[in-house]
A = this chain, B = another copy of it.
Amino acid sequence: MNIYSVAMGKREVGVGVIGASGYSGQELLALIGRHPRMRLVFATSESEAGERIPGRSERYISVQDARLGDADLIFCSLPTDVSGEWSLRASSAGAVVVDLSSDLRSGVGGAVYGLPELWRDEIRGARLVANPGCYPTGVLLALAPAIRAGIVDTSRPVVIDAASGVTGAGRSPKRALLFGEVAEDYRAYGVGNRHRHVPEIARSLARLGGACPFIFTPHLLPVRRGILETIHLPLTSHLGVGDAVGLWTEAYASEPFIEVLEAGELPSLRGVVGRNAVALGFSDVEVEPPTLLVVATLDNLVKGAAGQAVQNANLIFGWRETEGLIA
């Protein structure tokens, strides 16, 4: 009987956070702090090792000093190219691991892609989960019902214009992320399908049975948190906004974290910041060929990172999926 199966029966599990002083890491600590079944056993930070964790009595330690075996569950939120490696190491040490980077999203090391609303069953049995990217989370949840309903016209590209708050770019000091640079500015980046989330989106659309051309253009918003994605979805025939709302509402009827807005309403960042939710709004357009407008919003740090990671952990440990999360 391994640590894992023991943990499964526990009322409360010991949780470690590797990379806990970044924005996702801080959000993880906040969520763990109010999760009724999680107890923090360590939190690592190379840049703040030895300093007190804000709002707690414990201090950050270096990842080198973390006793991985002490944790039943480890969230790993290091930068790309480093995170995956530590997640594999943590997994070998016996912990259930949720990696928040993009390192394992292709399935490396047997990692399961952790988007519960689409692939819940696989996650339940997983011990190593690759938490989805913030942008893909919105795109995939916005498109899945249309793909599954077979109404997408795949002869034209889906045009995805996305905008994210700066916490999505991490907390490492970079000139381009200084307040003096970002405030009162707005810019596109990673254009021409060169953003690292593009393969993740393509792979997941294919898995949904909806391989289709798309153009993904992210922009940097002068806000702290939140993502808004404006998606122009080519359809095989016109779909009124009421029917669109009906289709998506039915698809997500039992999902606690997906909010389908009424016809005439569109989501904004304000409505989702702080919540583990994706909000979806729709508009028809009088244009040929038929195209539907879908607007998706989510908090990049919650449903786009730490919240979804906790949701995945809830599934794995057999707790209520909403435990410790604000829907």
Contacts and interface: CB of A to CB of B under 8 A. Distances in A.
Q: On chain A, which size bracket covers the interface?
A: 35 or more
Nearest to A184: B223
Contact of A54 (B213, B226, B271, B273): B271
A157 interface: yes
B224 A188 contact: no
Given A159-B232, A232-B159, A179 B222 contact: yes
A85 interface: no
A284 interface: yes
A191 B156 contact: no
Interface in A141-177: 155-157, 159, 161, 163, 165-167, 171-175, 177
A186 B291 contact: no
Interface stretch (A2-10, A104-112, A262-270): A262-270
A65 interface: no
B286 A192 contact: yes
Nearest to A223: B184
B273 A192 contact: no
A256 interface: no
A86 interface: no
A186 B228 contact: yes
Tell me how many chains of this kind the complex includes.
4
Contacts of A191: 266, 283, 285, 293, 295
Interface-central residue, A54, A213, A215, by most chain B CB under 10 Å:
A215
A270 B215 contact: no
Interface string A245-281: 0000000000000000000001111110100000000
Contacts of A175: 47, 171-173
A181 B171 CA distance: 9
B183 A173 contact: no
B217 A230 contact: yes
A101 to B, nearest CB: 18
Contacts of A185: 223, 226, 268-270
Closest 6 pairs between A and B when the two form their complex, measured CB to CB: A187-B268, A173-B173, A161-B161, A179-B182, A192-B283, A191-B283
